[in-house]
Amino acid sequence: MPTAIAATDQTKAAAAPRIKLLSHGFSIDHPDPEVGEQLMADALGVADRDAMHGILRQLVRASVSGEKPDEGNLSFMISMVKSIKPRDSVEAMLVAQMVSVHVMAMRCAHHLANAEDLAQHDSAARALGRLARTFPAPIDALNRYRSQGEPAITVQNVSVGDGGKAIVGNVTQHASVIVSDKDTASAARNAPKASGSKRRHDPDDAKAQA
């Protein structure tokens, strides 16, 4: 089973430790291994060691520059993940995708700026374009995932139109946006008034009365 990492007061509001790249992998650079793991888990938004090491391995591979992992890229990526504050493993995966796509897009931008011929230029331009179009997707997914936790509010809009009839319209939105639906009230106001009953006079009755 994955080993849960217990939070301590020492790990709260602390900077994430750096990752030290080794010939056979990586290690968390912190004098206290347990505190270092907790700081890194908090930065990545995960709750156990397996998830933490899994996300870190993926970020290490995405940080590759010149066929080798780059500590500068990796530190930047971890810092960006921490600043977005993922709250669980799903958000951690989405945020890791976001920062990885960004790093790869900037790498393509570098290749584009240093292209030596038309073929390299076109290849880098196409790759950069695809990555730029891909980048908003995990952002939208993260926003949708986070909005599921917001409480929904039902707003009851009551309007009384001509004739004393109440028109009740229910509008349900997330707490961030509440829009009142006025169509039902407008329809009631614009509805034609019922014509009053008129007494019909028979000519014969008029003659009899005369």
Does the structure show a pLDDT above 70 at 202?
no
Residue 181 clears pLDDT 80, i.e. is over it: no
Who wins on pLDDT, 163 or 66? 66
Mean residue pLDDT of the chain comes to 79
CA distance 74 to 66: 14
Q: Where are the domains of the chain?
A: 9-147, 150-191
CA distances from 106 to 110, 126, 132, 145 (A): 6, 13, 10, 27
**Sorting pLDDT into bands at 50, 70 and 90, what band is 159?**
low
More confident residue, 61 or 192: 61
From 20, 121, 131, 136, select the one nearest 78 (Cα to Cα): 20
Average of pLDDT values for 115-129?
96
> Measured between alpha carbons, how far is 76 from 59 in angstroms, rounded to an integer?
10
pTM over 0.85: no
Q: Judging by DSSP bridges, how do beta strands 25-29 and 18-22 pair with one another?
A: antiparallel
Residue 90 pLDDT greater than 80, yes or no: yes
Lowest mean pLDDT among 22-26, 88-92, 107-111: 22-26
Q: Are strands 25-29 and 152-160 parallel, antiparallel or unpaired?
A: unpaired
- Residue 50 pLDDT grade (very low, low, confident, very high; cuts 50, 70, 90): very high
Which pLDDT value is given to residue 179? 43
More confident residue, 195 or 144: 144
Q: Which residue has the higher pLDDT, 170 or 36?
A: 36
What is the residue-wise DSSP string for 52-66? HHHHHHHHHHHT-BT
pLDDT at 77: 95
